[in-house]
Structure 1
Amino acid sequence: MTIPSWEDENLGSMKRVALWLAGTVGEGGIFTYTDLRKDFPAVAQIDRRVRDLRDRGWRIDTSRHDSTLGSDERRLVSMGEAVWENGKGPGKRAGGLNGARRREVLMRDGNFCRSCGITPGEEYAESYETAQLDIARRTVKHADGSESVMLITECRRCRMGAPRAETDEAGTIAALDSLGDMERKMLASWVQEDRRAFGRVELLWAAYRTMPAESRQNFREALNARLL
């Protein structure tokens, strides 16, 4: 399907920016605001048009999300709503993310990363890097077969590691039937607290899984020696 030209000045600025990104940059491509201002010299606050696209499902990463990017660089990870089509574009989309909405999601999610559990400002294990929380969009598969996009709190590391993560709500709920009564009660207690403290054995297992192959072999030998 042929899309309009971003140079068509009869279109609104957000539509033109979206078309410029789609046609000139492309998914996976990198651009800067300097590039945008060069092609859109008459459009004021061009950065706001980019933020408007994020509210419509466009994923545009900065150096906060991708450490390989420079401070002025942006990566078009994936395109969202085709705002240039009839009936789309102007007007804030329901569920758009603003400051108040972001704070609401952070509070609802307990102000920690829902993927790894780290809190803002907390140091990652064996690193001096501190965590920064952001709001990610997660595709959720529901029990009725439908899909929707929901907001979830994640740290920068988890967002970079799983940029296209999906939630299989239906499959996760169905898996409850495979648990025994004691296991369900244990799980219910973790869900009630919305947090689980891991024991020493589980922490060691998690550390072992992250080791390189040679280190895993050394760990196995040390463990087997202690079993004698």
Structure 2
Amino acid sequence: MTDSALRIIPLQRDDLPLDTVEMARYLVGKYLVHDVPEGRMTGRIVEMEAYPVGDSTSYAFIGRRPHNDAMFLERGHAHVRLTYGASWMFNVSSEVEGVGAGVLVRAIEPLEGLPLIHARRPGVSLRDLARGPGRLSTALGIDSAFDGCDLCTGRDLWLGRMDEPPTPVAVTTRIGLSREMHRPLRFYIPGSPFVSGPRKLLVPAGSGMAN
């Protein structure tokens, strides 16, 4: 494993809640790591969206197909999908094998490997490097090659945690959809400047909505 100043512990599958909405909430404040030959890129997850079973906006809603097969793998596998022919969306499967659902990693706070990340997003401010799902995938070099990969191995592309106090989490409605936008399924760290979307939809840090 690549040397790191952060002592990140790989998540095990049993660490992940066996419920899509709870997984989205749980992953806020955890870490996304991509180890590449040049070094390690790490970001703290500040924003997640849930796409539970039966959600008509989910990639899995049409049933299991070759292009969405990874969403039907047991929880903790990557599903990477090209959207609008331009942006890779990085999702994590969230239920048992054969049940299609997932959570979308919407934004991270870049922490390690900033030169590597800036090389992929030249001329972009730190705040905007990975503030939004398409930007995030570009910044960390995530594309279709990672579709179906196991994120609980502690190798290559993986999820982790640190021994630290619980992260405050707030919830609001999803964005960027044409339907079911009213559902409170977007979880984020209140007050983080790295969260995507309009500020008016977010509650301030310290409000009663954080938990």
**Do the two structures share a fold, i.e. TM-score over 0.5?**
no
Question: Higher strand share goes to which structure?
Answer: 2
By relative contact order (CA 8 Å, sep 6+), the higher-ranking structure is 2
The two structures have a TM-score, normalised by structure 1, of: 0.20
The two structures have a TM-score, normalised by structure 2, of: 0.21
